[in-house]
Structure 1
Amino acid sequence: MPTSTDAIELSIVMPCLNEAETLAVCIDKAQGYLARSGVVGEVIIADNGSTDGSQDIARAHGARVVDVPAKGYGSALMGGIEAARGEYVIMGDADDSYDFSKLDPFVERLRAGDELVMGNRFKGGIAEGAMPPLHKYLGNPVLSWIGQVLFRSPIGDFHCGLRGFNRRSILNLHLQTTGMEFASEVVVKSTLGGLRVSEVPTTLDKDGRSRPPHLRSWRDGWRHLRFLLIFSPRWLFLIPGVVAFFVGFLGAFLLAIGPVELGDVGFDVSSQIYLAALAVVGYQAILFAILTKIYAQHEGFNIPRSRNFDRLEKRISLESGALVGLFLFLVGLGIAIWQFSVWAASGFGAQDPSSTLRTAVLAALFMMLGAQTIMAGMFLGALKVGLRRE
C-alpha cells in the first residue's frame, strides 16, 4: 500500500456487483503486479451495491472500496475513476477473465504518452469457452468494425474490458453513459477528442464465476449499436435521408408532368405516390440528422462539428423553420387551389383520374414537407431553450 506521501502513478479500478467468488484473486493479482513492477499504485473496487460481502473481501485484501449508489456498469466505473488518485487508470472486470498480473504493456504505452490504451483480445488470445460464439464471431467484430468505419478509430476490439488511460484526459471527455455502452463511449470520445489512442494484445480467460455474467447479449449489443449510431447522425439519418429525398422528390415531380418509361418499364401515378412517400421519409431523416446533432451537442456529446453545420445551426431557428415550412405549405396549397379552380371552371364535372391525381400528389407532398419543417422548427426552439443546470 502506498503511504500518504507517495505520489500514486497507477490506479487499478474494478467495477463490482456481487463478485465474491473471484474478487479476491483479481485483487491479489493486481497487488502482486504493483509489488513486482515497483509501480506506486492502488487497487480500487467500485462497488455498485453488492450484497454478497464483496466489500469486506476487498478491504481484507488491501483494496480501497468506493461505494457507487448509481446503478450501471458505466456509473460504477466513473465512480471509481473519479475517486482514483493515480495519474493513470487501468480498468478491468472483477470476474478473473483478465490477468491483472500482466499490465506491463499498458503501463509502458501510458508512460510513452498514449492517453487511451485498449486491450485487444483477438490479437492476444481468447481461451476456449471464454467468449460466446455470438460475441466472438458476430457481436464484437461487427460493432468494432462499425466503430472503425464511422469514427475512423484504430481500435480493433471496442469492447475489451481491460484498458488503461490517462485519468485527467478521460475525465475531460465528460463521459455520460451509465450502462454497458460506456465501453464504446470511451473509445468514440477519445477518438473524436484527438487523444493518443493505441492498443496492445491481451488475453481473455473463462471467468471464474458460477453464475451467469451481468452482460445481456442482445440488450447490451443494441445499446452499443444505438450509441454508435447516435454519435454518427450523418450515417444514421443524413446520407440515407438525402438519397431518399432527392430520388423521391425528383421522381414525384417528373411523374407529375406525365408518365415516364425506361425501356420496357413504365412509371405512372402509383409510382408517384410511392416516390412521394419516399421523399417525405427522406426529408424527415434529414431533419432528424440536424436535430439529433444539435441535441447531442446541447447535452455534451462531443459529436464532431463542421464549419458548414455551424453556419447552418446559426441560421436555423424556430422562426426560420416556420417561415420555410409556411412557404412550402403555401406552394402545395397554391397548387391545390389552382387544381380546384380548374375543376370549378369545368363545372365540377368528371375529370381524368390519372392527371388529377398527379397534381394532387405533388400538392400534398409540398404541404407535408411544409408541415414537417414547421414542426421541426418548433422542436428546435424547444432544444435551444436555455436551462440552468446543476
Structure 2
Amino acid sequence: MNDIELTILMPCLNEAETLEICINKASKYMHNAGIKGEVLIADNGSSDGSQEIAVSHSARVINVQRKGYGAALIEGIKAAKGRYVIMGDADDSYDFSDLNNFVEKLRDGYDLVMGNRFRGGIKPHAMPPLHRYLGNPALSFIGRILFPSSIKDFHCGLRGFNKDAILSLNLKTSGMEFASEMVVKSTLHNLKITEIPTTLSPDGRSRPPHLRSWHDGWRHLRFLLLFSPRWLFFYPGIVLLLAGLTTTSILSFGPLSIGAIVLDIHTLLYGSLAISIGMQLIIFAVTARLYGTQIGILPDNKRLAVITNKFKLEHGIIIGATLFLLGVLGSIYAVLSWGETGFGSLDPAKEMRIAIPSIAAIATGLQLTFGSFFISFFKIRTTIEDT
C-alpha cells in the first residue's frame, strides 16, 4: 500500500545550477516535518547533467518527451506517488524549506492551495517590472472577471494540490498557460481553493529564464478567453444585437437628432451590421460551449442544457424563415417603390429605410436557420445516447 503523503514536484529543463539546492531544501523540509514523501523531477530534455544531479541527491526522475512547462507538470502529476503534490520551479526562486502552510491547508481538505507572491513579498530583482506591475496583475484581474475566482495571483509557480482532484480536471495545455488552466478548471469544477502568502526571490541561474513575456502572456490571455465563451462571444453578441435592434427600430422611421448630431441612414446601416454580427457571436457562444462540454474541457452548464433542450431545431428554422420572409417582402416592396419611379433615381433617405432593415432581416434569418442546424450537430450524440 502506498503511504507516501507528499510529492514535491519540480519541472526541469537545464537547471543544473540550482537543482541541487532545491532538492536539498525539499528533502530537508520533509525530514524535519516528519512527512513521508518524495522529490520528483519532471525533466523536459535537459542537456546539462540535471538528471544526474537529481538522481545523485535521491530524487526520482521521469523523462518527459513532450516539450513545454505544462507538459512536464502534467506527466509529473500523473507519476507522483504522494496523495498531495506541491509543485515549484527548480530555479531556487521559491523556498522549498518552508512549506508548512501548504501542507496544513491540504490536510484541512483544500483541493488547491495557491501561493500569492504579491501578499508574501517579491524581493528586489525577483520579478521584472513588466510582469510585476502589468502582466501578472492584469491577467489575474481578467481571470477573476471571466471566472468566479477569488485568486489574486493566477500565475504563482508554487502551489499545492490534491493529486486525484487535479487529475480529474484532465488538464491539457503544454505551455506556460498551464498555470491558468489549473486555476480556471479548479474554479469551474467547484474545487475547494485557498491562497496563502508566498515569497518570491531572485532565481539562482546565470542564464535568462525560459519565460517569454509577450508570447507567454498572450498564451495566458488566449486561454482565458477561449475558456469563457460567455465573455468572448455571448456578452459582446448581446450588446451588439440589442444596440443594432434599437438603432434600426428607431431610424427605420426617420432620422434622429441629438443636439447638433443627426443620425440617419448611414447609422442605420451600421445598426443592421451590429444585428448581424451580434447574432453570429451568440451562435458562436452556444456552439463553443456545447463543444467544450462535449469534449470535456468545460463542465456541464445546466442553464444552457435546459435552453438548448427546449429550443429545438424546428424553432430556429421557423424564426429564421420568418425573418427571412419578412426581409424578402421588404425587398419586394422596395423594388415596387422603385418601379413607381420607372426604375429611375431614388431618394436614398426614403428607400434605404426599407432596404437596410430588409437586408438585415434576410441575413439574420439565414444565420439563425443555419446556426440552428449547426448547433443541432453538437446535440446528435446526446440524442443518440438518450434513445
TM-score range, shorter chain: over 0.9
Say whether residues 1:287 and 2:274 are aligned partners.
Answer: no
What is the aligned partner in structure 2 of residue 102 from structure 1?
98
TM superposition shift of 1:385: 5.6
Q: Give the deviation of 1:297 after TM superposition.
A: 1.1
What is the distance in 2 between the residues matched to 1:95 and 1:314? 51
Match in the other structure for 2:200 = 204
The residue matched to 2:185 in structure 1 has which SS? helix
Cα deviation, residue 153, structure 1: 1.4
Distance 1:321 1:49, change over 3 A: farther
Does 2:242 align with 1:242? Answer: no
Instruction: Pick from 332, 347, 352 the counterpart of residue 327 of structure 2.
Output: 332
Normalised TM-score (structure 1): 0.92
Which is further off, 370-379 or 62-71? 370-379
Under a length normalisation based on structure 2, what TM-score does the superposition of the two structures give?
A: 0.93
Show the counterpart of 1:274. 270
Amino acid at match of 1:356: E
Aligned to 2:385: none
Rounded to whole Å, the distance in 2 between the matches of 1:357 and 1:241 is 25
Check conservation: 1:269, 1:354, Cα contact below 8 A: yes
Q: 1:317 to 1:48 in 2, by over 3 A?
A: farther
Cα deviation digits, residues 44-92 of structure 1 (max 9, x gap): 1111122222212111111111112122211111101011111100001
Provide the residue aligned with 2:159 in structure 1: 163
Q: Which amino acid aligns with 2:327?
A: G
**Correspondences of 1:78-93 after superposition (within 5 Å):** 78-93=74-89
2:262 aligned counterpart, secondary structure: strand
Residue identity in the other structure for 2:273: A
The reply on whether 1:342 has 2:337 as its aligned counterpart is yes
Amino acid at match of 2:367: Q
Q: In the alignment, is the contact (CA less than 8 A) between 2:286 and 2:375 conserved in 1?
A: no
Q: 1:360 aligns with which of 348, 352, 355?
A: 355
Kept in 1, the 8 Å contact 2:111–2:161? The answer is yes
Q: Does residue 181 of the first structure (1) align with residue 177 of the second (2)?
A: yes
Displacement of 1:378 after TM fit?
A: 4.5
The whole-number CA distance in structure 2 between the counterparts of 1:246 and 1:361 is 17
Q: How does 1:253-264 map to 2 (within 5 A)?
A: 253-264=249-260
Could you tell me the percent identity over the aligned residues? 53
CA distance in structure 2 between the partners assigned to 1:281 and 1:260 by the alignment: 23
Q: Report the secondary structure of 1:257's partner residue.
A: coil
Matched, 1:380 2:380: no
Provide structure 2 residue ranges, at least 5 long, that are not aligned to the other structure.
383-387
Kept in 2, the 8 Å contact 1:192–1:304? The answer is no
Q: Distance in 1 between matches of 2:308 and 2:48?
A: 52
Q: Which moved more, 1:224-233 or 1:133-142?
A: 224-233
Residue 46 of structure 1: aligned partner:
42
User: Is the CA contact 2:2–2:81 (under 8 Å) kept in the aligned structure 1?
Assistant: no
Which letter maps to 1:367? I
Deviation at 1:341, TM superposition (A): 2.4
Contact 1:317 1:380 in 2 (8 A): no
**Structure 1 residues 11-26: aligned runs within 5 Å:** 11-26=7-22
Q: What is the CA deviation profile of residues 18-47 of structure 1, one whole-angstrom value per residue up to 9, with x for unaligned ones?
A: 212211111111111111111000011111
Alpha carbons of structure 1 residues 213 and 268: separation in structure 2 relative to 1, 3 Å = same
* Shift of residue 121, structure 1, vs aligned partner: 0.7
Task: List gaps (5 residues or longer) in structure 1.
Answer: none
Cross-structure match for 2:135: 139
CA contact 1:49–1:69 (8 Å) conserved in 2: yes
Alpha-carbon displacement from aligned partner over 1:262-291 (angstroms, at most 9, x marks no partner): 333321111111222222222222222212
CA 1:141–1:318 in 2, change beyond 3 Å: closer, same or farther?
same
CA distance in 2, matches of 1:267, 1:202: 56
After superposition, the CA RMSD in angstroms is 2.1
What secondary structure sits across from 1:129 in the alignment? coil
Q: For 1:155 and 1:36, how far apart are their aligned partners in 2?
A: 30
- Secondary structure, counterpart of 1:356 in structure 2: helix
Q: Secondary structure at the match of 2:103?
A: helix
CA contact (8 A) 1:293 1:303 kept: no
1:348-382 deviations in Å (ceiling 9; x for gaps): 24322221111111111112212322443344345
Of 363, 366, 369, the residue aligned with 1:371 is 366
